[in-house]
Structure 1
Amino acid sequence: MQRVPYRKQATYFLSTLVSALVLLGIATLTARAEEKSPKAVLELFTSQGCSSCPSADKLIAQYARRDDVLAMTLPVKLWDYLGWSDTLATEINTKRQMAYSVARGDRDVYTPQLVINGETAMLGSDKDAIDQEVATSDLPLPIDLSLNNGVLEIDLGDAEIDAESATIWLMVLDDRVHVPVSAGENRGRKLDYYNVVRDMRPVGIWKGQPIKLELPLSDVEKHATSGCVVIAQVDTFKGPGRIVGAAQLHQIFPARTIGSADGSFPYKPGIR
């Protein structure tokens, strides 16, 4: 496990981002999220420059295949200065991990670090601790996703939670990315990542009542994405708080090359 001292208070700021869902020239495309709602959201903060991370990366792949858990990989820049710059890491993911540490009050940032439902942090390779937390988890707010004729439809129901509102976040994912590492602690290794968060942005506010959002997929593609996740997350005065709802929509795209350091990996969508 690698840790980094917290040097300054991170601001929970995310700049406006382009929508990274991809239409790919298809005139009519219809898809729907899986019927079973997850009871837990797992966010793994990982780094290609961390020798302790591959075991956690493999573990998150197991959770990504489960229907009752929504598991995501968020590569961060913590160890880029050690000789290898993470090819998947983003400032957004890095700031999100920092913001979580401030919101919890422990300011503890390390890799591999797993955050469950926006609140509980633990070692990302500790399966027993993860399973114990997941077993008692619950996401009370129902969210339904569907894609119809180039429009992403997001339906949020109602739920009783200890907050007046929650921010609705759209995250775009690559189902699987293969990365050969040629320097740093993982030099010579070939690493696989699942449900990699490539972009995220707020798209609305849930205020305790059912709401429907419609997002056009007309923006220019900026990332090679294969699906999306929508979460509803309570904001606190310290930063991001509890995740109260989540849903994932898988999209089937043609094989494509993404994510690797040398651009050589042909992506084949879908792992379930």
Structure 2
Amino acid sequence: MAPRFWTCFGNKGSRDSAADGGSMTSDVTTEEQRRGGPVMVEMFSSQGCATSPAAELVLSRLGRGDFQLEMPVVVLAFHVDYWDYMGWKDPYGSSQWTVRQKAYVEALGLDTLLTPQVVIQGVAHCLGNDDTAIVDAIQNALRYPAPTFQATFTKPTQDSLQVSLTGALRSKVDSNGVNVMVALYENGLVTDCPRGENKGRVLSNDFVVRKLEKLCTEKDISAKKTITGTVNFPLWGGFNSSKCGVAVFVQSPSHQIFGSQSFHLPDDI
């Protein structure tokens, strides 16, 4: 039985667009924007959803470059927690990611939460296992210049990771402001699932967001202004830097993504 407000969807997809937030303006033309930086792809998924494993495969292939897109992508998987009652508690699920998805549901004018759901640049959505719809949405997404952050990674303690960033957003920020967010994600996760909708399956997950922190909030700044900041991530048992990466993205109050960038962690950190 499905929960009242949460839906685990199959293959057929749809797409909606949210209103332009207007919090950033680029110094380039619309055509140059389309040839700009990466397109941000967020998937909301759960190991407790029967149709999410197929969508996770699509996301992994997307991140590997299997679809031979003409533009780069930054992909992140947010595992929600509202399927945990179905007999299997997703070890990567978080109420924080459920709240993030609810914000998109409101911004996109949707009626319900659903998994697997993909959100493109914060303004379009489709079903996570509909690779045709995802590729189409990526190819039609308005693109913005990628930030020019340089990243430094250190471990102040065995249980923490510090990420220091310096660079420019490359788009002008108006009085509405933007948040610069930093996500720490992990690849190559394999889970035996003994219960729930995916009972007996071995589940593979990539680009799983383990931590998300805000670097800063910026208002009324030029595209070239240098921004410097540091975030600290508490680490989990079994942390392996060779399987992890960091994504930086710029998001307006209306949830639109105005630029993104990704980094691999050094193997020896």
1:187-224 CA deviation, whole Å, 9 max, x = no partner?
Answer: 1111111111011121212334223223166x653473
Q: 1:124 aligns with which of 101, 124, 128?
A: 128
1:69-88 CA deviation, whole Å, 9 max, x = no partner?
Answer: 11111111121111111111
Residue in 2 that maps onto 1:51: 50
Report the CA distance between 1:152 and its aligned residue: 2.0
Report the CA distance between 1:153 and its aligned residue: 1.8
| CA distance in structure 2 between the partners assigned to 1:98 and 1:167 by the alignment | 18
Indicate whether 1:228 and 2:246 are aligned.
yes
Indicate whether 1:178 and 2:190 are aligned.
yes
| Aligned 1:9-158 pairs, distance under 5 A | 38-66=37-65, 68-148=72-152, 150=154, 152-158=164-170
**Further displaced range: 203-212 or 119-128:** 203-212
Structure 2 residue matching 1:144: 3-state secondary structure: coil
Identity %: 24
Structure 2 residue identity aligned to 1:51: A
Residue in 1 that maps onto 2:216: 204
Q: Work out the number of aligned pairs and report it.
A: 220
**Further displaced range: 157-166 or 56-65:** 157-166
Residue in 1 that maps onto 2:257: 243
Report the CA distance between 1:139 and its aligned residue: 3.0
CA-based RMSD of the aligned residues comes to 2.6
| CA distance in structure 2 between the partners assigned to 1:78 and 1:120 by the alignment | 22
Residue in 1 that maps onto 2:171: 159
Report the CA distance between 1:253 and its aligned residue: 3.1
| CA distance in structure 2 between the partners assigned to 1:254 and 1:129 by the alignment | 39
Say if 1:216 and 1:3 are closer, same or farther in 2 by CA, change over 3 A.
closer
**Do 2:216 and 2:229's aligned partners in 1 also have CA atoms closer than 8 Å?**
no
| CA distance in structure 2 between the partners assigned to 1:174 and 1:205 by the alignment | 25
| CA distance in structure 1 between the partners assigned to 2:111 and 2:174 by the alignment | 24
Report the CA distance between 1:38 and its aligned residue: 4.2
Which blocks of at least 5 consecutive residues in structure 1 are unaligned?
7-35, 256-272
Structure 2 residue identity aligned to 1:211: T
| CA distance in structure 2 between the partners assigned to 1:135 and 1:4 by the alignment | 34
TM-score by structure 2 length?
0.73
Structure 2 residue identity aligned to 1:65: R
TM-score by structure 1 length?
0.73
**Do 2:153 and 2:265's aligned partners in 1 also have CA atoms closer than 8 Å?**
no
Q: 2:199 aligns with which of 181, 187, 194?
A: 187
| CA distance in structure 1 between the partners assigned to 2:132 and 2:3 by the alignment | 21
Structure 2 residue identity aligned to 1:131: V
Residue in 1 that maps onto 2:27: none
**Further displaced range: 142-151 or 167-176:** 142-151
| CA distance in structure 2 between the partners assigned to 1:235 and 1:46 by the alignment | 23
